[in-house]
Chain A
Amino acid sequence: MQGIAKQDLNKVLETLSGGGAALLVPMEIDGVTRFARWEQGAKTALGAGNTLLPPKEALFPQNEKVFNYEMSNEEAKIVPSAAAAEETIILGIRPCDVRAIQALDNVFLTKDYVDELYKTRRRHTLLIALGCTQPAPTCFCSSVGGDPLQAEGADIMLWDLGETYGLEALSDKGKDLLKKIDKFMSKSRGKKPAAGKFSLEVDSRGIAEKLHNMFEDPIWDRWYQKCLGCGICTFICPTCHCFDMQEKHTGQWDGYRYRCWDSCMFQEYSLMAGGHNPRPTKKERLRNRFLHKLCFFQERYGMLLCTGCGRCVRECPVGMDITKFIKEVSEVSLNE
């Protein structure tokens, strides 16, 4: 296997970010681990496991301008926004988050609707994934169809081999990029490592089919009550992609429309113009979130909308544990 010495990492990062590409790597900023633009001297948090914030904001920012509007002399002018077509490299993204980007690709690029803002960013983004040798206590990617060591859909795959990072190009874009850092590469003695043991495991096979018939099941009554109704799980989720459209008036006759992350856990999310709310309580909202993750998305796109990154398990202040939910669903007998 080809490899780069860890002591050369800074030089490699410097080379990759040369030529104007935005190089996003895991870093700790004001106490929060997230993907941020690497600059000479910046300290990476590559070995710190999964970042608190997933890299989705690089492709789907929390706020994004859609168009500017302007009115004058009884005429309205609309100027659509274009996403910046900046070459971006996301380095150190974990396999679960790569799968999450595949889910976002499904949403924004398939089924008759192509989101131009997302498409532009995505086309200019290259993914260098880092395999996970030791899953965190809250990780469960292998339980929802993922592989901690292999990121299908990434352009380059990295593995921590101790003194070196082993690497392998998975796409033509990846091969081209490796040529740029050719001089740092040598034959590494290591081979692709084995994955450590998961402490969180659950059998999710058949979950979508089962949930399809559980809309009115009493399980929701047992699960919703402890939910705080906050948006932590949706905002730190690498796959959650719901947004709202809002306007900002910057003057009397001009302004812009933007989209911003929204959360299905908020009561306002499903509030309709006339005041009716089809998901009036936390029960309906929690049900919607779990069904979207584990049933509707599978039915529409053939994959779960959960990649087992474990962020919600880790960060939910009331210990809402989706693996426990999956297990409980599997124990429900629908013939009672």
Chain B
Amino acid sequence: MSDPSGEMRELAKKLLENGEVDRIIGWEKGNLWYQSPPLFITRAEETDRLVFDDFAINSLVTYLLDERDSGKKTGIFVKGCDSRGLVRILQDKQIARESVYVIGLPCSGKKDPRQALSSGASESSQVPPAAKCEECLYPNPVIYDVIIGEAVEAKAKGDRFAAVKEIEAKTADEKYAYWTSQYSKCLRCLACRNVCPACNCRECAFDISKPRILAKENNLSHNMVYHLTRAFHAAGRCVECGECERVCPMGIPIMQLNKKIIKEINDLFGPYEAGVKLDETPPPLGTYQTSDPEEFM
């Protein structure tokens, strides 16, 4: 893949100079060679900092929620997975389509800074592809105003639900032992929620203190309430960007449960892919039909 940063900088510069956008969100090079963290710029002369290298792994779309009431227009770079998160936020009417100028970047997979560090690599070529990218089905942006670079082929091969089937094959006791050992580790830092494009509520139940819905005491019971509630809340809305699992410092396999729910939704209402088409009907669990065979509906 050729380096699109030249074109990115040129376009960002033009958008800021023309006053077409108030700010640009992209990536820049960090202090360390394996970091390309998010970058916010408002001045044309800063656009030279923009990069799109192997470590531009962060999805930037949830940052749009921070400015959802500001009336500002944002130019934002999106990879395939990020673009599905953007569709999600637009479908939930958290921001207006006119408030974003979307610059699409086809993506052949990124690398995870933590993996770069733990693998002891000294350059990018020695770092394996990020786990979340290995299962990518949508490497090309599904929504954009302009696209930079050539479309790339999806590289996901093998069974999308292999990790789910692994769990399904366990007995109930084994499943319980597995998930409780995972959820016991949770620090409740809330990073998975904060990075999630499906978690776009203005006020999250877990932040409410009067009445307190989730106690602050860290224990398995409360941690499970947090994780299971979030998984069910994101059901039918998870776009499989994998950011939740990437940001988790404790290595909790959050996507394994999300994928189980995706599989169930596909079996029951599918096939369905969240965040792929902007003008589609609401997701399966976000709508109802009077002819639904379930009586309680």
Contact = CB atoms under 8 A, between A and B. Distances in A.
Interface of A: 30-32, 52, 62-63, 136-138, 199-200, 222, 225-226, 228-232, 234-236, 244, 246, 248, 258, 260-263, 266-268, 271, 282, 313-315, 317-321, 323-324
B19 to A, nearest CB: 20
A229 B39 CA distance: 16
Given A231-B190, A232-B189, A246-B216, A225 B31 contact: no
B31 A235 contact: no
Interface string B13-48: 000000000000000001110011111100000000
Contacts of B63: 225-226
Interface stretch (B127-135, B163-171, B247-255): B247-255
Given A225-B40, A228-B194, A266-B190, A200 B185 contact: no
A109 to B, nearest CB: 25
Nearest to A199: B32
B218 A260 contact: yes
Interface string B175-201: 000000110110111110111000000
A329 to B, nearest CB: 14
A184 to B, nearest CB: 32
Contacts of A261: 218
A318 B216 contact: no
B66 to A, nearest CB: 7
B91 interface: no
Contacts of B110: none
Contacts of A226: 37-40, 63
Nearest to B27: A319
Contacts of B250: 31-32, 52
Given A231-B187, A262-B216, 15 more contacts: A32-B185, A63-B219, A226-B39, A226-B63, A228-B191, A231-B191, A232-B191, A232-B247, A248-B215, A263-B189, A268-B209, A317-B191, A318-B58, A319-B36, A320-B37
A317 B185 contact: no
A235 B185 CA distance: 12
B9 interface: no
Contacts of A231: 187-191
Nearest to B181: A30
Contacts of B190: 229-231, 266
B243 to A, nearest CB: 8
24 contacts: A30-B182, A31-B250, A31-B251, A62-B187, A62-B218, A63-B218, A136-B117, A138-B32, A200-B31, A228-B191, A230-B190, A230-B193, A231-B187, A232-B189, A232-B191, A248-B215, A258-B217, A267-B207, A315-B249, A317-B191, A318-B37, A318-B38, A321-B35, A324-B31
A271 B212 CA distance: 14
Contacts of B191: 228, 230-232, 317
B113 interface: yes
B189 A260 contact: no
Given A230-B190, A267-B207, A317 B58 contact: yes
B84 interface: no
B249 A52 contact: yes
A268 B207 contact: yes
Which of A258, A268, A282, A320 is the most central at the interface, judged by chain B CB atoms within 10 Å of its CB?
Answer: A268
Contact of B114 (A136, A314, A321): A314
Given A230-B194, A321-B30, A260 B207 contact: no
B108 to A, nearest CB: 22
Given A32-B185, A323-B31, A260 B217 contact: yes
Interface string B65-78: 01000000000000
Nearest to B57: A317
B30 A319 contact: yes
Contacts of A137: 32, 117
B117 A138 contact: yes
A32 B248 CA distance: 11
Contacts of B111: none
Q: Give the interface centre of B66, B187, B190, B207 by most chain A CB atoms within 10 Å.
A: B187
B32 A63 contact: no
Contacts of B88: none
A256 to B, nearest CB: 10
B246 interface: yes
